A and B are shown apart, each in its own frame.
Chain A
Amino acid sequence: MTENYRHLYVVIEHIDGEFLHVSLEMIGEARRLLDNFNSKYSSNEKVVAVILGYDIKDMSKQLIEYGADVVIYSDHPELKDIRNTIYTKVISQISQDKKTLDDVEPLYAGEIKRPRYMFFAADSIGRHLSSTVLTELESGLASDINQLVIEDIEMSHQQKTGGSKEIYAKTLEMYRPDFSGFLWTTILCLDNRNPAFKRDYHPQACSIIPGVFEPLKQDPKREGKIIEFIPKIDDKDLRVKVLSRKVIQSEVDFETPRTIVSFGRGVKDEPEQNIKLLEQLAKELNAEIGITLPISKKPFLVSQALDSKYMIPDRVIGTSGHKTSAMLYIAAGVSGAMQHVWGMKDSGFVVAINPDENAPIKDECDIFIKGRMEDVIPMLIEEIKKQIHIIEA
C-alpha cells in the first residue's frame, strides 16, 4: 500500500559539541517504538536523527551508535547559533525534501511526502522550535509528553470523521500529565477524513520531557546511513543576530546539597509562618528548598521576600522542573502527584510530613510522619539540633 508518511524523525539538540541528554533519550525511545512498529507492521521504517549546526559532521556517527538508523545533518556557519527562524526553515525543508526522504529508505522512494512522526525536546529550544516547525508544516503537536504508544485506533468523531467509523492505523498516542499531576491526557494528531474539510495532518509530532526515557548504550558496532542536507538559506531568515551568551549560575542548587526540603500546598494554613519554619529546617540540614508545581503558581499571599525567593519555577521538583537524587528528601505538605514523584523518587531516604494518611506520597516515602507540619517541624528542628551537626564543606 502506498503511504505518504513514513519514518520517525528526532530533532537533536547539542551544545559545544556535546549532545543534550534528552536527545539521546529521544533516540532510545524512538528505537524502541520503531522496532515494535516494524515487526508488527512488517515494515522497514527508520529512526532518523536530524542535526543542525556548524562543524558537526563528526557528531553524526555517534547518533547511529546511540540507535538512529539514519542521520540527516546540515552543516553551515549560519546554523552555528540556534536561531528559531532559520532552524525552523531548515528543519521544514528537511522534512519535505523529496530526495532526502527517498534516500532515507529507497524501498519507499517516490511515495513519501513527509515524516510520519516527529520528536522534539520539551526545553527552552525544542519547545518553541517544535511550535514553529509544526506551524510551518501545518500539522499537530502535543507538548510535554511522558509516554508514547503506537496503535491502530478505531473511532468515530464528529469533526474528524464526520461521524462515521474509521480506523486510524499507526497512530501515535501521546500521553501528557496535566498541571495537577493527577490526570493523564492522551493527545492524537489525526487527518481530517470528514468530507466537509478533508485535510492531512502529518507528521504527528510531540515534545518530550527531558529525563523521562532511557537512552540506549552507545554501541560502536551499530551501522547506519549519514545524509548531508544542503540548506537553502534566505537572508531574510537571518535577521536575528546573537550578540553575546553568558553562562549564569542559578541561585537554586539541587545538585550539591545532600538534603532537599520541599513543600507543597500543605503550607496553606499559615503559609508565611510555615515557609519560615521550612527555612529553619533547611538551614539546620544545610538543605536546598524545593517546591511542587502548584506552589510556583503562587496560590498564597506571602511576603514579597518569601514569594520571590521560593514560589518560583526554578525550585519546582518534578516533570516540569528538576529531578533530584538527594540523600535525604523531606516532603512537607506534599500530596505526591505523579508530576512531583517523578522528580524525587530517586532520592535515598525519604521522609514525608502530612496529616492525611491516604496521600499518595505515603507510597513513596520511607517514613511517613502523620501530622501537621506546624506541629512536627519544630520538634524535628529541636531534635536535629541535638543529633545532627552538618559541617559545611
Chain B
Amino acid sequence: MSTLNVAVIIKLEPDFSEGNVSYNPDGTLNRVETKNTLGPHSAIAAHAAFYAKVMYDAKVSIGTMGPPMADLALQQSQQISDAEELHLYSDRLFAGADTLGTAEVLKTGIEKMQGKMDIVFSGHRASDGETGQTGPQTGWKLGFTFLGNVISYNVDLETRMIRAKRLISLQGVPSVIEEVEAPLPVFISIDPTYKSSFDTVSQRLSFQKYQKEATERAENYKEYFKVFNADQLGVDKTLVGLPGSPTIVYKVEKVPKSTATRQAEIVDGSNHEQIKKVVARMKEALSAMVIK
C-alpha cells in the first residue's frame, strides 16, 4: 500500500499553441478548427502530483469530466505524473454543467478512486473557462482543507502534515509568500509558477525511473483507464449537469466596439522619414510628461 494517495483533476481544453489554434476573422476562437489538448494548468497540477510520486512514492490517480475524447488529456497527464488510475466521467447528463455541477461529479469520482485521498490537486484555472472555481468547489465538497496558489509543498509522512508555500497577489500591494501547515487531507490548487525541484541524487534517480515508467504506462494507458457514466458513479442526478447548475450562460455577444478614445495618425512603417518623426513625438511625450 502506498504511503500517500494523491489525485489530480484535469481538463481537456482548446490548444492555444500556434498551428493548433484557429481564430475566426473577428478574433473569437474557432472551436471547430481548434485542436484540443491537456490544459496547461492541468499539466502543472500533474507535475505537482509527480513530485509526490518521486518524493514519497505516492500513488497517483487522475480524474476528468468530459466527452469520450477527453481520454487524450488523461493519457497526456499520465505521461507527466506516472498515474496508475485514470478516470473519465462521461455522460450526456453532465453536459452543460456549470462549475458547481462539475464539482459534484469530480467529488463523487474522487471518492470512487482506490484508496483514501491525502492530497487532491487542481490547476489554477482552465484556459477556456478561466473561472478557477471548480478546484476549490470540489475541495469544499470533499470536506478537505483548501490551499490555493500553492508554489511548493512538502509532506511529513510520520505526522501526516503538509507544509506549503502560497503566492498571494493582490491589487495595489506587494505580493506575499505565505507558508502554511495543515494536516492531511488537503485540496491544493496549484499556482502557475509552481516548479518541482529534485535536489539529491536519489531523488533524481527516482525521477528518471518513474519518468520511464510513466512513458510505458502512457503507451498502454487503456489498461489504467476507466469510464464512468452517471449511474456507475452513483451521483445524485439533481446535483449534476444542468439541474445541478445554478448559473446559465444567458447570452454571448461581441464586445461592443468602444468609441475611439484616440484619433490615430497613420504612419507608413516603411518610410524612414516618418519613423523619424514618430520618434520625435515619442521624445516630446516623454519630456512633456516629466515636466508635468
Contacts and interface: CB of A to CB of B under 8 A. Distances in A.
Interface of A: 13, 15, 20-22, 84-85, 88, 121, 123-125, 127-128, 130-132, 134-136, 138-144, 153, 155, 157-160, 173, 177-190, 192, 194, 196-197, 199, 201, 210-211, 239-250, 258-259, 268, 294, 297-301, 312-313, 320, 327-328, 335, 337-338, 341, 345, 348-353, 355, 357, 360, 362-372, 375-376, 379-380, 383-384, 386-388
B179 A240 contact: no
B103 A135 contact: yes
Main secondary structure, interface of B, reads mixed
Contact of B267 (A186, A189, A369): A369
B145 A123 contact: no
B267 A182 contact: no
B92 interface: no
A153 B178 CA distance: 44
Given A124-B168, A187-B249, A388-B286, A243 B163 contact: yes
A163 to B, nearest CB: 13
B281 A349 contact: yes
B286 A258 contact: yes
B266 A368 contact: yes
Interface string B93-107: 000101110010000
A242 B164 CA distance: 10
Nearest to B129: A179
18 contacts: A15-B170, A123-B170, A123-B171, A131-B99, A135-B137, A141-B99, A141-B133, A144-B131, A186-B251, A186-B252, A190-B246, A245-B176, A245-B177, A298-B16, A299-B21, A327-B289, A337-B27, A365-B264
B249 A186 contact: yes
B266 A248 contact: no
Contact of A157 (B146, B175, B248, B278): B248
B182 interface: yes
Interface stretch (B57-65, B210-218, B268-276): B268-276
A232 B253 CA distance: 45
Nearest to B246: A140
B132 A143 contact: yes
4 nearest A-B pairs in the assembled complex, by CB-CB distance? A371-B269, A140-B246, A349-B285, A201-B246
Contacts of B181: 240-241, 243
> What interface size band does chain B fall in?
35 or more
A20 B270 contact: no
Interface string B78-111: 0000000000000000001011100100000000
Interface of B: 16-18, 21, 23, 26-29, 40, 96, 98-100, 103, 127-128, 130-133, 135-137, 139-141, 145-149, 163, 167-183, 189, 192-193, 238, 242-243, 245-270, 272, 275-276, 278-283, 285-286, 289-290
Determine which residue in A88, A187, A298 has the highest number of CB atoms from chain B within 10 A of its CB, and name it: A187
Contact of B100 (A138, A240, A294, A345): A138
A298 B21 CA distance: 12
Contact of A189 (B183, B246, B252, B261): B246
Contacts of B238: 197, 199
A20 B264 contact: no
Given A20-B170, A349-B282, A185 B249 contact: yes
Contacts of A383: 275-276, 278-279
Contacts of B253: 183-184, 186
A138 B245 CA distance: 10
A341 B281 CA distance: 22
B258 A183 contact: no
B285 A327 contact: yes
A153 B248 CA distance: 13
A22 B170 CA distance: 9
A205 to B, nearest CB: 9
Contacts of B135: 131
Contacts of B180: 240-243
A131 B170 contact: no
Contacts of A185: 249, 251-252
B171 A143 contact: no
A155 B172 CA distance: 41
B16 A299 contact: yes
A183 B266 contact: no
Given A184-B254, A189-B246, A242-B179, A369 B275 contact: yes
